[in-house]
Amino acid sequence: MAIKTFKCNICEAEVTKPKSYAYKDGRACRHHPEAIKAYEDNEQLKQKDINSHKEHKSRNCSDDHYNHIFNIRNPHEYCWCCKKDGIYNHLLAERVLINMSKSALQGNLVNPFNPDSQHYALTREDIGDKIAIKQFPVYTSYPDWKLKQMFNNDDNKIMLARSTGIINLCQNCATKYEFDWIFDKPNFESSDLKMLATIGAAIVPVLDNIAAAELAADVTINAMKT
C-alpha cells in the first residue's frame, strides 16, 4: 500500500504526514520556519485549552468542597419541607427498570408486582435511606402563609419557590400541604397503546445494555477486592 503524500504549501515538495506539519489549508515540510511557528502556535492553543479545562474542573471541585463545609445542600437532592434526603421519582423508576434488567440477565424471575423480588432489593441497596421526591409547580395563587408554614419561615426557601415557581416535596409533605402527588400521571385512556408498546420495546435493549455494563463493573470491582 502506497504511503500517502502531500504537496508542501511552501516549497511544493512531496512530503509524508510524519515529516510535515499542518500549515494553513494543507501541510508543509518540518524544516520550514513558517511551519515550525504554526506548529508551536497550535500546540500553545491546545495547552491553553487543556489548562482552561483543568482550571474549570478544579473550580467545580472547590465549589463542592465549599458547599460541603458550609452544609449547602443541592436543592435537587432532598425534600424542601422535611429536609430528608431524596431522589426524584422518575430517577427511582429508572433505577427499578435497570435493576429488573440486571435481575433478568442473572436468570432470575422478574415480577414487578412482588415487593420481595430481587430487583426491588437491589434498588433499596442503591438508594439507601433516600425517599422519593417530586418537583411540583408553585402557582401564584398558592398562599404565602402555607409556604411560611411549610418552610418554617425560611425566607430563602420561600424566595426560591416563588422565583423558580417550583418546589421539591416527598409524598408525605406533598399530601400534608395539598399538592397532588399524581398530578403528572399520564392519561393512558387517550394514549396510543400501540405507540406506547413500541416505545417500551425500544427501551428494553437500552436498559439491558446499561444493566450488563453495571454487572460487568460489579464483577471487576469484586475481583479487585479479592
- CA 31 remoteness from chain centre: 48
pLDDT at 53 (0 to 100)? 63
**Residue 113 CB: number of other CB atoms within 10 A?**
5
Place of cell 520550514: 32
Place of cell 406506547: 196
pLDDT at 174 (0 to 100)? 93
| Cβ proximity of 135 and 167 under 8 Å | yes
pLDDT at 193 (0 to 100)? 65
Q: Where are the domains of the chain?
A: 5-69, 76-225
Can you name the residues that pair with 135 across neighbouring β-strands? 168
Residue 104 CB burial class (10 angstroms; 0-12, 13-18, ≥19)? middle
pLDDT at 5 (0 to 100)? 86
Whose CA is closest to 93, among 133, 148, 54?
133
Tens-of-pLDDT digits for all 226 residues of the chain?
567 888 898 998 998 888 888 888 889 999 999 989 988 888 888 887 777 666 655 555 445 554 554 456 788 899 999 999 999 988 988 888 888 888 888 888 888 778 788 888 888 888 888 999 999 998 888 888 999 999 988 888 889 889 989 999 999 999 999 898 887 776 666 556 677 667 677 777 888 888 888 888 877 777 776 6
- CA 76 remoteness from chain centre: 12
Instruction: Name the residue type at position 37.
Output: K
